[in-house]
């Protein structure tokens, strides 16, 4: 069965510092992988996705993520945090085999950005 | 460009009452989903509809029913609300379930059952 684990429910960084949000997945077949962001009292917005075209994926707002099959990881990074990046971030995996392509979400990581 | 529209945005129910959460998308998507979000648990899939005319159970279907009314609309019904159903409910849609496009989410319905 597929699963997603996000390491750290809360991450705090200073403005201008590197952002690193960790995601590890479990899947029996090469998956699709996604990062979503949720701002307070809003729905989820797609940040980026991996669908096997390239292992380094660039998304919106300066975020990027690298698919590492050997480590079963898909960590999200941003070189320099902005105050506006404070939000909750979700990693998700989708099984591309058969017709089961439902998204399975991690527990979420809340990013705090300190001035 | 409405995307996915959910109504209502907020609702308070008494235990045992029933209600229907409405969801509509205007992107001609085939697949639609209902998730619930609870603190520390991420989003959990309640029901989904891979295409018009089909519905299937997700991870936490107990206490809920769904109807795929047409291609645009996918409703979630609570027949007899319980306090454990206090949550934020999100509807989402995608072009095709297996194509890796990612989902478009609505803004959510915040439900409190007292």
Of A34, A101, A106, the CB nearest to B97: A101
Q: What is the pLDDT of residues A92-115, one digit of tens each?
A: 988 666 555 688 899 999 999 999
Please say whether the dihedral angle defined by the alpha carbons of residues A9, A37, A90 and A6, taken in this order, is positive or negative.
Answer: negative
Cα R_g (chain A), whole angstroms: 14
Ramachandran bin of B95, using left for φ above 0, alpha for ψ from -120 to 50, beta for the remaining angles: alpha
| Chain B residues within an 8 Å CB radius of A99 | 50, 97-98
Q: What is the pLDDT of residues A25-72, one digit of tens each?
A: 987 777 889 999 999 888 999 999 998 778 899 999 999 999 998 999
Q: B41–A107: do the CB atoms touch at under 8 Å? A: yes
Of A43, A94, A106, the CB nearest to B105: A43
Segment (H or E) for A24: strand A19-26
Q: What is the pLDDT of residues B2-45, one digit of tens each?
A: 799 999 999 999 999 999 999 999 999 999 999 999 988 889 99
* Bond before B8 cis per omega within 30 degrees: yes
| Chain A residues within an 8 Å CB radius of B57 | none
Q: Best residue in B21, B38, B43 to probe A by mutation, most A CBs within 10 Å?
A: B43
Q: What is the pLDDT of residues B49-98, one digit of tens each?
A: 988 999 999 999 999 999 999 999 999 999 999 999 999 999 999 987 66
Q: B103–A42: do the CB atoms touch at under 8 Å? A: no
Q: Report the C-alpha gap between B46 and B28 in whole angstroms.
A: 22
């Amino acid at each position: 069965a597929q699963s997603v684990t996000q390491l750290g429910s809360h991450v705090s960084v200073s403005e201008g510092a590197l952002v690193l949000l960790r995601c590890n997945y479990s899947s029996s077949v090469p998956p699709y992988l996604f990062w979503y962001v949720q701002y307070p009292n809003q729905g989820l917005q797609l940040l980026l996705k991996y669908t096997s075209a390239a292992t380094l994926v660039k998304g919106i707002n300066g975020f990027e993520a690298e698919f590492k099959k050997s480590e079963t990881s898909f960590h999200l990074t941003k070189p320099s945090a902005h105050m506006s990046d404070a939000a909750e971030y979700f990693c998700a995996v989708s099984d591309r085999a058969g017709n089961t392509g439902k998204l399975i979400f991690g527990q979420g990581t809340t990013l705090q950005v300190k001035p | 460009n409405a995307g996915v529209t959910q109504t209502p945005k907020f609702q308070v129910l008494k235990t045992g009452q029933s209600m229907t959460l409405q969801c509509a998308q205007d992107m001609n998507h085939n697949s639609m989903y209902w998730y619930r979000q609870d603190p520390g648990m991420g989003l959990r899939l309640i029901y989904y509809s891979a295409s018009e005319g089909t519905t299937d159970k997700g991870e936490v279907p107990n206490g809920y029913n769904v109807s795929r009314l047409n291609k645009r609309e996918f409703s979630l019904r609570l027949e007899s609300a319980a306090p454990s159903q206090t949550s934020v409910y999100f509807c989402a849609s995608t072009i095709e379930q297996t194509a890796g496009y990612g989902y478009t989410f609505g803004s959510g319905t915040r439900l409190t059952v007292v």
